[in-house]
């Protein structure tokens, strides 16, 4: 109970209207406080995204499995690090279709805006690079760069458009059905990316069908790209305030003062980049085969076998990621087997010559694409074939030389060997030959120190005759 005099009274005695007013006021205060906290947290998060900077990812060289793994992992890391955007610098002659599609799918699904930037001056985004540029939220190029030539390359080598043959009327024949299918698929794919990003779809079709390529200035004028920037600083300045559409909706880029944080490939990506080089994969395969063969024919040390097994598995893993022609792979293996067989089953060179021919043919057929950077060097194949053939000829020469040598072990080697009598009694005694003491017999009596020659063997007993001036 409170005193009425001082203006206080029990809550139960308060007027009903007054209690309702105070209750509504409290609820509104709580709601206002909650909204204020949420707004502050959202502002803080937005500020963190802006202050966290932009990720810088660089593609320099052919696009392959290691490149796609690097870009996909970088986009995931940029989302985790809450980067404002990803700047993807491109300088590529092209690459594998499977790796390109992985990169495009990752860009399209990325909540973080991706800016593809063909740089530095003199760089290009050819073939596969064109698809990556069209898939990005913002497409930019540095001066003196070019983009285009997106015609797919046929598996097995060469453009999907063969040289047109003219019929009797002088009209060029239509391309084969398989080539037309590949062209139509690539055109539809690139046009869909152009329509999604609001870029020039007609030029996209021309870049596939006619291998069209344009400079940075022409690309900007025809609506292929959005920005020409001299460097990354100029790029970030022009991106500021631009609106982009991501999977999470529209967002406005705030890039005026944010730093660029370089995302370098990790050790797994670096190793993958090394072993998926076709020349390196080829070397690993050969080391593996020769190492295992050496271990099989000279067992015991395990060094050749362990090294060969590791290299063989690494080579097979790399080839599994690359477009390999398995007929070529089988021919390489057959060639190695035939050349090794020649050394152990001489056939007057038939096995060796056939093995060398199969080895070279299989090596030329091994990679099933003419994509830039994914062909085994012809010079390298010739060097390996020459080295292998030289090794084969050296082994053959050593075998022929060994056949001409005198027998060095066994019963045959003992015949005609010379020795010295150690002791003798009657028709038998002991002689020393090659530092070893043998039981010997002779038709004539001998004396210690006399020189003798082995002319026959009876089990472990030598039959000797005296030689030299002591011959009786």
Region of residue 435 (left: phi > 0; alpha: psi -120 to 50; beta: else): left
Residues 192 and 62 in one domain: yes
Q: Are the C-beta atoms of residues 117 and 238 closer than 8 Å to each other?
A: no
Residues 180 and 287 in one domain: no
Instruction: Find the mean pLDDT for residues 227-250.
Output: 92
What's the gap between Cα 71 and its chain centre? 15
Query: Is residue 40's pLDDT more than 80?
Result: no
Q: Note if the bond before 120 is cis, omega within 30 degrees.
A: yes
Parent domain of 20: 11-43
287 in a structural domain: yes
What confidence score (pLDDT) does residue 22 get?
63
What confidence score (pLDDT) does residue 3 get?
44
199 in a structural domain: yes
pLDDT single digits (tens) 325-373: 888 888 888 887 887 776 667 666 677 778 778 888 888 888 876 667 7
Report the distance separating Cα 38 and Cα 365, nearest Å: 63
What confidence score (pLDDT) does residue 36 get?
56
Q: Are the C-beta atoms of residues 250 and 262 closer than 8 Å to each other?
A: no
Residues 349 and 232 in one domain: no
437 in a structural domain: yes
Supply the CATH number for residue 101's domain: 3.90.226.10
How, if at all, do strands 436-441 and 428-433 pair? antiparallel
Instruction: Find the mean pLDDT for residues 191-202.
Output: 93
pLDDT single digits (tens) 263-309: 999 888 889 888 888 889 888 988 888 888 777 767 777 888 888 88
Residues 217 and 125 in one domain: yes
- Mark which of 236, 267, 298 sits at the end of a domain: 267
177 in a structural domain: yes
What confidence score (pLDDT) does residue 164 get?
43
What pairs with residue 419 in β-bridges? 452
What confidence score (pLDDT) does residue 470 get?
53
Residues 61 and 200 in one domain: yes
157 in a structural domain: yes
- Mark which of 367, 389, 404 sits at the end of a domain: 404
237 in a structural domain: yes
What confidence score (pLDDT) does residue 174 get?
47
The two structure tokens encoding residue 388: 């292998």
Residues 219 and 104 in one domain: yes
4 in a structural domain: no
What confidence score (pLDDT) does residue 457 get?
86
Question: Of 181, 193, 114, whose CA–CA distance to 154 is shortest?
Answer: 181
3 in a structural domain: no
- Mark which of 373, 404, 435 sits at the end of a domain: 404
What confidence score (pLDDT) does residue 32 get?
58
Residues 188 and 235 in one domain: yes
Question: Which of 16-20, 245-249, 372-376, 390-394 is predicted with the least confidence, judged by mean pLDDT?
Answer: 16-20
Q: Which residues contact 425 (CB under 8 A, 6 or more apart)?
A: none
Residues 354 and 251 in one domain: no
Over 361-416, what HEC string results? HHHHHCECCCCCCCCCCHHHHHHHHHHHHHHHHHHHHHHHHHHHCCCCCHHHHHCC
When pLDDT is cut at 50, 70 and 90, the band that residue 15 belongs to is low
How, if at all, do strands 243-246 and 249-252 pair? antiparallel
Supply the CATH number for residue 443's domain: 2.40.50.140
Report the distance separating Cα 174 and Cα 185, nearest Å: 17
Residues 137 and 208 in one domain: yes
Our count of domains for the chain comes to: 4
Residues 73 and 193 in one domain: yes
What pairs with residue 184 in β-bridges? none
Residues 399 and 416 in one domain: no
Q: Which residues contact 395 (CB under 8 A, 6 or more apart)?
A: 343
Look over the chain and give the mean of its residue pLDDT values, rounded to a whole number.
80
Residues 247 and 341 in one domain: no
Record the pTM. Answer: 0.66
Report the distance separating Cα 147 and Cα 208, nearest Å: 12
């Amino acid at each position: 109970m409170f005193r009425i005099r001082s203006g206080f009274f029990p809550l139960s005695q308060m007027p009903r209207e007054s209690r309702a007013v105070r209750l509504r006021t409290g609820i509104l205060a709580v709601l206002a406080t909650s909204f204020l906290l949420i707004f502050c947290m959202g502002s803080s998060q937005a500020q963190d995204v802006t202050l966290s900077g932009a990720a810088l990812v660089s593609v320099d060289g052919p696009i392959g499995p290691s490149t796609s793994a690097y870009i996909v992992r970088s986009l995931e890391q940029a989302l985790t690090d809450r980067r404002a955007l990803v700047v993807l610098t491109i300088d590529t002659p092209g690459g594998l279709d499977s790796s390109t599609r992985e990169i495009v799918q990752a860009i399209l699904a990325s909540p973080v805006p991706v800016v593809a930037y063909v740089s530095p001056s003199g760089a290009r985004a050819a073939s596969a690079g064109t698809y990556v540029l069209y898939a990005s939220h913002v497409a930019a190029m540095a001066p003196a760069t070019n983009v285009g030539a997106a015609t797919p390359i046929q598996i097995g080598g060469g453009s999907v458009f063969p040289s047109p043959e003219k019929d009797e009327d002088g009209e060029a024949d239509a391309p084969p059905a398989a080539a037309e299918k590949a062209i139509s698929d690539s055109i539809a794919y690139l046009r869909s990316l152009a329509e999604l990003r609001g870029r020039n779809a007609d030029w996209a079709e021309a870049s596939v069908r006619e291998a069209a390529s344009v400079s940075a200035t022409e690309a900007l004028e025809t609506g292929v790209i959005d920005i020409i920037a001299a460097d990354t600083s100029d790029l970030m300045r022009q991106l500021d305030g631009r609106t982009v559409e991501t999977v999470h909706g529209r967002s406005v880029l705030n890039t005026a003062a944010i730093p660029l944080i370089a995302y370098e490939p990790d050790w797994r990506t670096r190793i993958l980049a090394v072993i998926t080089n076709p020349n390196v994969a080829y070397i690993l395969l050969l080391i593996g085969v020769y190492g295992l063969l050496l271990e099989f024919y000279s067992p015991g040390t395990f060094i050749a076998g362990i090294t060969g097994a590791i290299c063989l598995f690494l080579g097979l893993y790399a080839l599994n990621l690359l477009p390999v022609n398995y007929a070529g792979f089988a021919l390489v293996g057959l060639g190695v087997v035939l050349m090794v067989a020649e050394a152990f089953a001489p056939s007057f060179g038939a096995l060796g010559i056939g093995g060398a021919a199969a080895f070279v043919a299989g090596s030329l057929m091994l990679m099933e694409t003419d994509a830039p950077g994914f062909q085994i060097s012809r010079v390298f194949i010739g060097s390996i074939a020459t080295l292998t053939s030289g090794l084969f000829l050296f082994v053959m020469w050593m075998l022929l030389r060994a056949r001409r040598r005198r027998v060095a072990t066994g019963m045959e080697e003992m015949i005609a060997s010379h020795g010295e009598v150690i002791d003798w009694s009657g028709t038998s005694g002991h002689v020393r030959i090659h530092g070893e003491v043998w039981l010997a017999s002779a038709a004539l009596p001998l004396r210690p120190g006399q020189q003798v020659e082995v002319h026959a063997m009876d089990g472990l007993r030598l039959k000797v005759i005296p030689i030299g001036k002591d011959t009786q």
